C-alpha cells in the first residue's frame, strides 16, 4: 500500500510517517530528509539546494522527482509513505507515472489539516534527536530533564535551519500557492481523506490507521 501524507509544514507528517514505519514496516520517503542529507554531505546538488531550502522556497521539480525516481527504482518496500512529496502538480503527475512504471498504485492521500497559528507554535518550538530523529517540542513534549532522548538515549538534539518564523512564512505561502491545489487534484480522483491534524498524536494515528484499513 502506497500513501501520501499531505499538509503544511508542522502538520505532523514526519511524526506520523515514523509511526507507520515502526508499526507497519512501511518505508518513509521524505524529500525534505533526502535534501537535508544531500546538503549535509556537501554534494553538488546539496550546495545548490541549501540556499533555496533555508529561505523556505521549493527546490526544482526536476531535482525532487529525480530523488524519488531513484528510490522507487532501488528500494523494495511493503508500501511507501510519501512525506513532503509531491508538492506541485508536476510532481503529482510524475509520481503517478513513476508508480505505474513500477507496476504499483497510489492507494490513499491523507490531508492533515492544522491552522496556521498552531503551525507557528509547533515549528518554532521543534527540535529533533540528532541520532534517531525523534521529534520534541519545547512546550508540548520537551526534551527530558536528564537530556537523553526517550527513544534512543541520544544526547544531541538539533533544530532545523528553516524552522524560524521568517522561512516559515515563505514555506506556508509556497504550500498554499503550489501544494494545496493537489488537494483538489486527489479529491477529484476519489483518493483524498481529510483528518484533523490538531488532535493529539495517538488520535491522528488512529485516524490514519482507519484510512489504511478501508
Report, as residue numbers or ranges, the catalytic residues.
13, 87, 126, 160, 171
Closest CA to 119 of 10, 197, 5, 6: 10
**Minimal CB distance residue for ligand AMP:** 32
Measured distance CA(94)–CA(58) in Å, rounded: 16
Measured distance CA(122)–CA(136) in Å, rounded: 10
Q: Is 53 in the site for ligand AMP (CB under 6 A)?
A: yes
Query: Residue 152 or residue 173: which is nearer to ligand AMP going by CB?
Result: 173
Q: Is 77 helix (H, G, I), strand (E, B) or coil?
A: coil
Q: Is 18 in the site for ligand AMP (CB under 6 A)?
A: no
Q: Is 84 in the site for ligand AMP (CB under 6 A)?
A: yes
Of 2, 171, 204, 208, which one interacts with ligand AMP (CB under 6 A)?
A: 171
Measured distance CA(193)–CA(13) in Å, rounded: 14
Q: Is 58 in the site for ligand AMP (CB under 6 A)?
A: yes
The torsion defined by the Cα of 62, 65, 69 and 70, in degrees rounded to 10, comes to 70
Which DSSP symbol is given to 50? Answer: H
Q: Is 168 in the site for ligand AMP (CB under 6 A)?
A: no
Q: What is the number of other CB atoms lying within 10 angstroms of the CB of residue 37?
A: 13
Piece in contact with ligand AMP (CB under 6 A), picked from 37-45, 81-89, 101-109, 132-140 = 81-89
93-132 residues near ligand AMP, rule: CB under 6 A: none
Q: Which residues bind ligand AMP (CB under 6 A)?
A: 9, 31-32, 35, 52-53, 56-59, 64, 84-85, 87, 91, 162, 171
Amino acid at each position: 500500500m502506497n500513501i501520501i501524507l499531505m499538509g503544511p509544514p508542522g502538520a505532523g507528517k514526519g511524526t506520523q510517517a515514523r509511526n507507520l514505519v515502526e508499526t507497519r514496516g512501511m518505508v518513509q520517503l521524505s524529500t525534505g530528509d533526502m535534501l537535508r542529507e544531500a546538503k549535509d554531505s556537501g554534494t553538488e546538488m546539496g550546495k545548490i539546494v541549501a540556499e533555496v531550502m533555508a529561505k523556505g522556497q521549493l527546490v526544482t521539480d526536476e531535482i525532487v522527482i529525480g530523488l524519488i525516481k531513484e528510490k522507487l527504482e532501488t528500494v523494495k518496500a511493503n508500501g511507501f509513505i510519501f512525506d513532503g512529496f509531491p508538492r506541485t502538480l508536476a510532481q503529482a503527475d510524475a509520481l503517478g507515472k513513476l508508480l505505474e512504471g513500477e507496476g504499483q498504485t497510489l492507494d490513499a492521500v491523507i490531508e492533515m489539516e492544522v491552522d496556521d497559528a498552531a503551525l507557528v507554535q509547533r515549528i518554532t518550538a521543534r527540535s529533533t534527536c540528532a541520532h534517531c530523529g525523534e521529534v520534541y517540542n519545547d512546550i508540548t513534549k520537551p526534551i527530558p530533564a536528564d537530556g537523553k532522548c526517550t527513544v534512543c538515549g541520544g544526547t544531541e538534539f538539533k533544530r532545523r535551519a528553516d524552522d524560524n518564523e521568517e522561512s516559515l512564512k515563505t514555506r506556508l505561502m509556497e504550500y498554499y500557492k503550489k501544494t494545496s491545489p493537489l488537494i483538489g487534484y486527489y479529491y477529484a480522483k476519489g483518493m483524498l481523506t481529510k483528518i484533523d491534524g490538531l488532535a493529539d498524536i495517538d488520535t491522528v494515528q488512529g485516524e490514519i490507521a482507519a484510512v489504511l484499513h478501508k
